[in-house]
Structure 1
Amino acid sequence: MHYSVSLKNLARMQLSAFVHQVELTSLGNILITMKAFNVSSYALPMITVIAGKSNNTTKCKIISLSDAISLERDVEFSTSKEDLKAGEPKWANYVKGCIANFPCTVPGFDAVILSTVPVGAGLSSSAALEVATYTFLEKLTGRVSKKQEEKALACQRAEHEFAGVPCGIMDQFISVMGQEDHALLLDCRDLSTKQIPMYDINEFLFLITNSNTPHKLSSSAYCERRDACYEAAKVLGKKSLREATLDDLQVLEIQKMPEYVVKRARHVITEIQRTVDAAAALEKDDFTKFGELMNQSHDSLQKDYEVSSVELDTLVSSAREVKGVLGSRLTGAGFGGCTVTLVRKDAVNEVIDVIKKRYPGKATFYIAKPAGGARYMSTDIAKSDFDSDIENA
């Protein structure tokens, strides 16, 4: 029996045992197509677990025990790559995509999936499922990825091709590469990474607040922003906005580009610099500076990139009222989902109380710390480890 657990903080995140933790992105929500920086993503103590074994056939039978799935909890399909097609239930498409992008033939198997990651909350539940599945397949077949980048990219392709979601790459990278007490800096230009230590964060914690208004990444809004950034880069004669500077914004204005194109470009260009500054702040244990950058990031996401919402803005502004809060911003793709707040430990209860008073909906709260990425677990330790993760989620 194989366990795969994906601990994904953002991303956030196998039975012969695969655990994958969820991922949280504090800064740098930049489209992968813009070849920018992503930073301060780290894995959360929420988990997606896959438990399973080979069944000596060419078909897989999977049951999902996730509370987020109300219908079609079980599915059966051929593992032959020629037969794999997207369909219903939608959650199974992520598994199909991983099988389709796996580098060798996948035998039939029986598996059960259990996840504590909220769906549609911007905490990368899809990447958690993908990376947990891929880790499970590695153990099932004995074919382990030589490079972590290849594994992350295969999971991204699974989401593009079978779920129809034009996601970036940060969620998959942190789900694969997450390390305890570290954030991950990813340069999307060349996919180079750097682990940023967060050992001295003991005085603070990250409070995740779920607005319980699900975001929908598959919408045209994502494509509109991507296309606007492409258009801006093209006018500037750049391969991507990763090469642009603030001075280039004047060129866009002189060229009389539409206001929304200038705003999208301004967010991307300034967010890249904030990301670099955030990594430097973490390396100096300057959490005050990091919090300031979080605030600037949300304001830019709200006004220039326009991916926030009334609900998210209410959560952020409410949190910022509390003296012990260093910074607060949306996390994930926006348009709903969650916020992340950097707060002193002795002020977290006050933050929760203020949000409950100010927010008209019913928010859900999670206290997070940087955790590890996807890993294999033996059946001997899987249950105790899983119970511990559930307790701390």
Structure 2
Amino acid sequence: MKKASKIITGFNKGEYKALIKDLYTEDARLTKQKNRYVTALKQFIELYGDEEVEIYSAPGRSEICGMHTDHQHGKMLACSVNRDIIAVVTPTDDNVVRITSEGFPDIRPITISKAGLKLAFDEQGTTESLIKGIVSQFQKLGYEVGGFNAYITSEVPLYSGMSSSAAIEVLLATILNGLYNSGSINPLIIAQIAQYAENIYFGKPCGLMDQAACAIGGLIKIDFKDPKKPLIKKQMIKFEQFNHSLCIVDTKDVPANLTKEYRAIIEEMRSVAKYFGKEFLREVDENEFYEHIIPMRKVCSDRAILRAMHFYSEEKRVNKELKALRDGNFHEFKIQIRRSGNSSFEYLQNVYSSKDPSHQNISLAICMSEKILKDKGVVRVHGPGFEGTIQVFVENDYARKYKNEIEKYMGKHCCYVTHIRQQGAMKVI
């Protein structure tokens, strides 16, 4: 460990330039990132003094393929992006976790007890609940825990579809791993600990995709055939060679309760599986499914059948996209991204809410993006859908123009130009 002031001096002398370049990839952002780290270190000193510190980072994430297939035990592609949350941290010997986060009120200190941290339902939905959940699971699994002081700052916007919640969970678990377990806990375990904290203590049901992408980094393939033990493999593909940016566009939807819409996708897909005496679509042979569409319509809704069609086509697209990337054929990759988007629009039908069909931010953003992009990129709905964000792969030289144009229609600062980051959550310094 080094004193915070010495690390500031190192940044000002350019000692960490290569490290910052490796994490954030874009030359235009290097000075901004250097200044961001220096500011965070100064804030830490102001709060806690000029202590010996470490700096940790956890990236946001984006889903690439496999939309709404995980709950049917399907396959997915996801990646980490070069927007992250960083923490300047020092360990303490008082078993108290103290965190100050930029832009948020001070988070209440959490005292770690040997008896563990009890679940408190009135705390669900708070950052404190996440801290307690992560510490509790570390203890349950037999890992070491301890107190620390931290200053945290984030580049992962809330409600942007880049999973700021998973990033903060994974960051907290990575801090405990680095400070008290010599970094020995593998990224998949970190992701599972983060998922436990969100499911049980925070009170939000979620799969493992978000946390795995943040923890492992780069492009990952996930197979949920056994959801208790999903197969997760990092793909050694460097996206820099393809000269494309990944843009996430916030369509500025007013947040609504869409639980019924999400639940309907799950229930309708399972109604098709049930027709064949199975629980999940992964267990139903695709050829048998198509052979039974006529009698199936007497039992299942047409929308359920269309959504099942999306599942089968998306399952195959995961492998097609991977093959295209491995072959260095980004044109074919973009074709598959476009087909995935079309399938979501036409079959999965998750681009607007059936409760309010006159309100179609995502549909409009997709159509305007296609008009702006022409042959310069591809666009699809991003995340669970119905509201929220779209995803665009656009040529690097055209990314700034696309951002300027789409923001004319969808609002200022709605477009986040990112790149795929190879590193997952990590100790930076």
Fold-level match, TM-score > 0.5?
yes
Report 1:112-131 matches (<5 A).
112-131=151-170
Structure 1 107/198 Cα, relative in aligned 2: closer, same or farther at 3 Å? closer
Distance in 1 of aligned mates of 2:61 and 2:133: 20
CA distance in 2, matches of 1:293, 1:165: 32
With 241-250 and 146-155 compared, the bigger mean Cα shift is at 241-250
- How far is the alpha carbon of 1:170 from its aligned partner? 1.5
Number of the residue aligned with 1:184: 220
Q: Normalising by structure 2, report the TM-score.
A: 0.75
Indicate if the aligned counterparts of 1:120 and 1:214 stay in contact, CA closer than 8 A: no
Deviation at 1:126, TM superposition (A): 1.0
Q: 1:295 to 1:217 in 2, by over 3 A?
A: farther
For the residues of structure 2 that align with 1:213 and 1:316, how far apart are their CA atoms? Answer: 14
CA distance in 2, matches of 1:241, 1:8: 39
Report 1 or 2 for greater relative contact order, CA contacts < 8 Å, sequence distance ≥ 6.
Answer: 1
CA shift digits 1:23-43 (9 cap, x unpaired)? 11122223433221111x222
> 2:31 — aligned with what?
none
Please point out which of 403, 414, 425 is paired with 1:352.
403
CA offsets, 1:139-197, max 9 Å, x none?
22226454432222221121111222222212111111113xxx222222241314141
What is the match of residue 323 of structure 1? Answer: 374
Q: Distance in 2 between matches of 1:52 and 1:333?
A: 34
Alpha carbons of structure 1 residues 230 and 57: separation in structure 2 relative to 1, 3 Å: farther
Q: How far does the alpha carbon of each residue in 1:179-228 deviate from its partner, in whole angstroms, 9 at most, with x for none?
A: 3xxx2222222413141413564432222222233667883433332233
Of 368-377 and 186-195, more deviation after overlay is shown by 186-195
Q: Tell me the distance in 1 between the aligned counterparts of 2:24 and 2:382.
A: 14
| Matched residue, 1:19 | 57
Task: Report the Cα distance in structure 1 between the residues aligned to 2:256 and 2:154, rounded to whole angstroms.
Answer: 20
Aligned counterpart, 2:68: 30
Choose from 123, 148, 158 the match for 1:109.
148
- Which amino acid letter does the alignment assign opposite residue 151 of structure 2? V
Q: 2:98 aligned to 61, 67, 90, which one?
A: 61
1:307 to 1:217, Cα distance in 2 relative to 1, 3 A? farther
AA in 2 matched with 1:83: K
Out of 270-279 and 297-306, give the one that drifted further: 297-306
Specify which of 283, 296, 307 is matched with residue 264 of structure 1: 307
| CA displacement at 1:110 relative to structure 2 | 2.5
Q: Pick one of 68, 73, 94 that aligns with 2:106.
A: 73
Q: Secondary structure at the match of 2:100?
A: strand
Helix, strand or coil: the match of 2:54? Answer: coil
Aligned length: 363
Task: Call closer, same or farther: CA 1:211–1:26 in 2, change over 3 Å.
Answer: same
When residues 218 and 126 of structure 1 are mapped into structure 2, their CA distance, relative to the original with a 3 A threshold, is farther
Please tell me whether the aligned partners of residues 215 and 336 of structure 1 are also in contact (alpha carbons under 8 angstroms). yes
Percent of counterpart pairs with the same letter? 23
Please state how far the C-alpha of 1:236 moved relative to its aligned partner: 2.3
What is the CA RMSD across the aligned residues, in angstroms?
Answer: 3.0
Q: Report the Cα distance in structure 1 between the residues aligned to 2:365 and 2:419, rounded to whole angstroms.
A: 20
Structure label with greater radius of gyration: 2
- Aligned equivalent of 1:391: none
SS at match of 1:333: coil
**Aligned: 1:155 with 2:194:** yes
What is the correspondence of 1:153-302 to structure 2 with a 5 Å cutoff?
153-179=192-218, 183-189=219-225, 190-199=230-239, 201-213=241-253, 219-238=259-278, 240-247=280-287, 248-251=289-292, 253-255=294-296, 256-302=299-345
SS in 1 for 2:318: helix
Unaligned runs of 5+ in 2: 5-19, 26-39, 41-52, 353-359
Alpha-carbon spacing, 1:323–1:302, altered in 2? closer, same or farther (3 Å): closer
Any unmatched runs of 5+ in structure 1?
A: 379-393
